[in-house]
Structures are given as structure tokens and as C-alpha cells.
Amino acid sequence: MRPEKIKVGIVGLGLVSASHYKGYAGHPGAEVTAVCDLEGERAERFASAFGIPQVYTSYDEMLEKAHIDVVDIATPTFLHVPMTVKAARAGKHIHCEKPFCRSVGEGLTACQAVRESGVKLVVSESYVFITSRMKARQLIEAGEIGRPLQVRQRLGPWIERERPVAHIRPAERTWRLDAEKSGGGEYPWIFDHVVHFFATAEYLMPGEVVSEVYAVTSTVHGTARAGARHDPYSTAAIDIPIYTWKYENPDCQGLWARAERLNGKYDYMRGFSTTIIGDRGVIEVLGEGGHNLLWDGRQQHLILHRESKEPVCFRFDEGGDDVWDSDICYYSQGHISSTRHLIDCIRQDTQPRYSGEDGVHAVQCALAVILSAQRGRPVRIGEVDPDYTAYAK
Ligand SMILES: NC(=O)c1ccc[n+]([C@@H]2O[C@H](COP(=O)([O-])OP(=O)(O)OC[C@H]3O[C@@H](n4cnc5c(N)ncnc54)[C@H](O)[C@@H]3O)[C@@H](O)[C@H]2O)c1
């Protein structure tokens, strides 16, 4: 007898929710049967657009009344932990967006509720679920570059597609600038994005753990600028254009540098890209919004360089991105893969490869960057107190 489909309820129907929906809708063992948003009209429109039977404006009511097995949390960051705890206590499996929490302490509380309820939790760290990165990890684990020793991350401008595919976004997205709701204090952009970069810094250095960070702060040259049309961010008064990190293994280290319109700089290399240096080779790989990794005058998505061998180039043509003018399919392949990963973990009773604890660790690293900027010195990850928040007065 064909097993029952796993029923999913999505709460928070903003920018990222449509990418999540695609994940479940395209999985043979899952279906989205309920949606919830504070904005009733938005929830109705989403439900009728995708033919979803149950519509709610109250999360508690959806948990109580909807016949669902999984809750997909795509609400603003300050709601992730309270909604995860409620879902776990209601016996629902969880797919929760990043940043998973705003402090280590609140994150660990959610992990405990998940453990006690025996449900599965995947934190939607889409950066470790995109095809180009998974290929890079595979090559590294196959020993193609020898021992990976150094990571260099570069963030250039994110350029939008002429006509983004993503469905209508809420007009009101100022939570992203709010010190407490975003969790970022005076660094909301940094907090919201740096969790991605640290997840990548560990994913592409198998077995290595970040132990210390140092943030370089800077004033921003020139006039304030706006970022991507769909985001409310503008140039910050104090920027963190560069930060470095050490791993517990003293042979290994990394750096991240940002040059794009929001911090008054130019770079021809678009979006996010990572270079992994080994003792016998190098991998260059594009990520979110990536473009202009060239070899032989052609656009590449990943290049493998090995000592005294011809470089090997890779492209992962998955139809391009729904939001960015980039061949790398981040919106929505990254999100599609993380949602389907949860469904597979439930059906096969396997452990998620990006868990709540991983989400808490990435937040701890991001908070260490902000603490380092505040204190003007290197900060060990372990120094980040469980109750420390970036918005604490
Ligand atoms: N992994 C990624 O690439 C990625 C991309 C974008 C956003 N995100 C994360 O996803 C989360 C959502 O971001 P977004 O950009 O989609 O936000 P958004 O502002 O576009 O949408 C949030 C939605 O949540 C709804 N909402 C707010 N409070 C609610 C409540 N109590 N109950 C029900 N609905 C509620 C709002 O009405 C809105 O429709 C954030 O944590 C963000 O960091 C991750």
C-alpha cells in the first residue's frame, strides 16, 4: 500500500516561502495542505495560487486544527525559536529558516524541545544544499586538492533579474532592519547573512570547526546606497567589510571580504564565491547570485585546479536563479533541496545533515563577529555567552 504523503503546513508567506513550497510540491512523498500568515489576504492568495485547502492567520490555530506532520517556519527571525518549540511540543517535524535563533541560549532551548519530542528538525541553511557547493564538497572529500587548509570568501554585488520569478513579497519587511526582530542589533545585514558564510566555511572544510574570529570595521566611502530592490537594507554607518577566522586546527584559517554597492565598493565578480586552498590544489566555486568566474573566456560555476594538471571546469545548469541574474540556481534549488532533505529524513528515519545544533553554532559564529566589531579585538567562539545578543542594550 502506497505510504501516506507527509502533510506540510507553511507559516510566513513572504519572499522565501515560494521556494519552500516548490520543494514539497515536487516531492512524491509530500504535500502542502495548510498555510498561515498574519496577513489573511496574503494567505488566501498563496493558497488559491497553489491550490492549498487549509488557510490560517493564527499559528496556534494551524498547529491545533490543521492535519499536518511538518511545520515549515519562514517567518521573521525573532519568531523562529518560539514557533519551533511550539511545533515540537505539538509533535510536528520542523523545517526552520536561518538564522535559527538570536542567541545561543534561545537556540539550545529549541534544540532541547526537539530532542524531548523526538521530532526531526532541519535548519534551512540553503548554502550547504546548492549543487555547486555539494560538488565542491565531493571533490574535497575525494582528495582532489589534498588537505584543505584555507578558505577565501568574496561577496560582490547581487544583481537582480529583470523579472524576478519569486511571488509577490510583503510590502512591509522592515523587521529586517529592526535590532531585536532581526537579531542583529546595529548589524542586521551581517547577522542575517554571515550565518550562511560560516556554514559554508565549515561545510567546505570537512571536520574543521571555526574557533576564533576577528572583524575589521570601517566607515563607508561615498553616499549611502540601497541594496537589492526586494530588501530594505541601505549603507550602514559602520561597516564590517572584512573578517577573518581560525579553525580549532591551527593549520587552517579563512577570510571573508565584501565589496558591493551597499558598502560603497565595486567588484566585477558578482554574488558570493568561495576559494578553497589545499596543499595540492585549489577549488573556486560560485554560490548565491554568483557570476563572472571565467576560464578560457567562458563562464564557469566551479573550477578545480591541481598541481601540474589541466584545470577542470564545471557548470550546473538548473535553469538559472528565480531572483538573481545568475546561472547558479540558488533561489530555488538551495531551498528545494533542504525541504526535500527533511522529507527524506522523516521517511527514512535518518539524521538531518544540517541540524538545530548546526544552526545555533552558525549564529554563535555570527555573534562573535559582531562582538569582535564591538570590542575591536579577536573573539573566541566560546566567549559568546549563551545569553549574549547583538541587540542587548
Ligand atoms: N535561506 C535563504 O536564502 C533565505 C532567504 C530569504 C529569507 N530567509 C529567512 O527566512 C525568514 C523569512 O524571511 P523573508 O524574507 O521571507 O521574510 P518576509 O518579510 O518576506 O516574509 C515574512 C512573512 O511572515 C509573515 N509573518 C510575520 N509574523 C507572523 C506570524 N506571527 N504568524 C504568521 N505569519 C507571520 C509576514 O506577514 C510575512 O508575510 C527570515 O528568517 C530570513 O532570514 C532565508
Q: Is the CB of 261 under 6 A from ligand 1?
A: no
Distance, in Å, from the CA atom of 309 to the CA atom of 104, rounded to the nearest integer, reads: 45
Torsions phi, psi of 45, nearest 5? -65, -45
Cβ neighbours of residue 168 under 8 Å, at least 6 residues apart?
A: 45
CA 371 to mean position of chain CA atoms: 21
Atom of ligand 1 nearest to the CA of 79: 31
The three cell numbers locating residue 342: 527533511
Atom of ligand 1 nearest to the CA of 196: 1
Cβ count within 10 A of residue 185? 20
Pick one of 3.40.50.720, 1.20.140.10, 3.40.50.10800, 1.25.10.10 as the CATH number of 6-125. 3.40.50.720
Q: Is the CB of 97 under 6 A from ligand 1?
A: yes
Distance, in Å, from the CA atom of 122 to the CA atom of 120, rounded to the nearest integer, reads: 7
Concatenated DSSP letters of 51-107: T-SEEES-HHHHHHHS--SEEEE-S-GGGHHHHHHHHHHTT-EEEEESS--SSHHHH
Q: What is the pLDDT of residue 3?
A: 63
Q: Is the CB of 76 under 6 A from ligand 1?
A: yes
Q: What is the pLDDT of residue 260?
A: 92
Q: Is the CB of 59 under 6 A from ligand 1?
A: yes
CATH class of 128-331+353-383: alpha beta
Residue nearest atom 17 of ligand 1, based on CA coordinates: 14
Cα(181) to centroid(ligand 1), Å: 11
Confidence (pTM):
0.97
Atom of ligand 1 nearest to the CA of 192: 43
Listed by start position, the domains of the chain span 6-125, 128-331+353-383
Atom of ligand 1 nearest to the CA of 331: 3
For the segment 224-242, what is each residue's pLDDT rounded down to a tens digit? Answer: 666 777 788 887 888 999 9
Angstrom distances, CA of residue 97 to CA of 32, 157, 339, 359: 17, 23, 10, 9
Q: Is the CB of 71 under 6 A from ligand 1?
A: no
Residue nearest atom 25 of ligand 1, based on CA coordinates: 12
Q: What is the pLDDT of residue 163?
A: 74
Q: Is the CB of 13 under 6 A from ligand 1?
A: yes
| 64 Rama sector, left if φ>0, alpha if ψ -120 to 50, beta otherwise | alpha
- pLDDT means over runs of 10, the chain (393 residues): 84 94 97 97 95 98 97 98 98 98 98 98 97 97 98 95 67 89 96 98 98 94 71 84 98 97 92 98 97 95 96 93 90 94 97 98 98 98 98 86
Q: Is the CB of 42 under 6 A from ligand 1?
A: yes
